């Protein structure tokens, strides 16, 4: 049991972009999360399992040791208090930017208080506090782009990749908060107790990330 390695990751872009890293480490899933309803996927190794869960839940599984390692977006990690995990590899995948965005043409400067809609409450708080801007944060769980359109907020803090979603909703980026990519995260106890296995995985992931960075 102690030899088992449990890897937590989310369906969708993170799963797809993590597959080549796993492959380099000799790990290939036997079940396909897009077609299977299983939440625990078997792999070509009897002692390696993949947990397919919500992106925002990945750090939790790793912190509590339900998974030894995981792949999570930096946006998600920034929202976590996170004491019980290491973040050894920037995989450079699922890249995007965390940004403040507002309706095209709106002027937010000189406003005493701003209403900010976001699911990234901590990052938003930190960002505006650093600028000395007073804000009321409105926590949403999705479709943040809607909030300024219906008067719920003055601006939003959200992830932007192509910018297409903002544009389609009459919004434009006004401030860059952080560059985001996904990280390999490791439970602190697993790092000690499963040292060899975990380190082998870290080394493989780091090598793939490095070779891509160089390409």
Stretch (H or E) spanning 47: none
Question: What element of type H or E holds 2?
Answer: none
Upper half-sphere CA count for residue 72 (Cβ side, 13 Å)? 32
Beta pairing class for 155-160 and 134-139: unpaired
x/- map, 160-179, ligand PRT, by CB under 6 A: xxxxxx--------------
Q: Is 101 in the site for ligand PRT (CB under 6 A)?
A: no
Q: Pick between residue 120 and residue 128 the one whose CB is nearest to ligand PRT.
A: 120
Q: Which residue is nearest to ligand PRT (CB)?
A: 73
- Shortest Cβ 87–ligand PRT spacing (Å): 13
Q: How far is the CB of 22 from ligand PRT (least distance, A)?
A: 17
DSSP helix/strand/coil, 103: strand
Q: Give the integer Cα–Cα distance in Å for 75 and 84.
A: 17
Q: Which helix (H) or strand (E) holds 181?
A: none
By beta-carbon proximity to ligand PRT, the closer residue of 48 and 72 is: 72
Among 13, 23, 111, 188, binds ligand PRT (CB under 6 A): 13
Q: Which of 75, 157, 186, 197 binds ligand PRT (CB under 6 A)?
A: 75
Could you tell me which residues come within 8 angstroms of residue 38 by beta carbon, excluding any fewer than 6 positions away? 31, 52
Q: Which residues bind ligand PRT (CB under 6 A)?
A: 10, 12-14, 54-56, 73, 75-76, 94, 96, 158-165, 180, 182
């Amino acid at each position: 049991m102690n030899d088992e390695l449990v890897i937590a990751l989310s369906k969708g872009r993170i799963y797809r972009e993590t597959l080549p890293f796993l492959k380099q480490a000799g790990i290939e899933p036997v079940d396909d999360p897009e077609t299977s309803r299983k939440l625990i996927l078997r792999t070509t190794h009897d002692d390696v399992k993949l947990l397919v869960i919500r992106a925002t839940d990945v750090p939790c599984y790793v912190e509590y040791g339900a998974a030894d390692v995981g792949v999570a977006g930096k946006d998600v990690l920034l929202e976590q208090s996170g004491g019980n995990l290491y973040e050894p590899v920037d995989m450079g995948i699922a890249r995007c930017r965390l940004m403040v965005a507002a309706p095209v043409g709106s002027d937010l400067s000189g406003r005493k208080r701003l209403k900010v809609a976001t699911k990234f409450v901590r990052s938003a708080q930190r960002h505006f506090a650093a600028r000395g801007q007073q804000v009321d944060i409105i926590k949403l769980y999705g479709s943040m782009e809607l909030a300024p359109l219906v008067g719920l907020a003055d601006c939003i803090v959200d992830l932007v990749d192509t910018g297409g979603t903002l544009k389609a909703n009459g919004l434009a980026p006004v401030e860059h908060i952080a560059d985001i990519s996904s990280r390999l995260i490791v439970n602190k106890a697993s790092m000690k107790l499963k040292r060899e296995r975990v380190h082998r995985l870290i080394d493989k992931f780091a090598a793939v990330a490095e070779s891509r960075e160089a390409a």
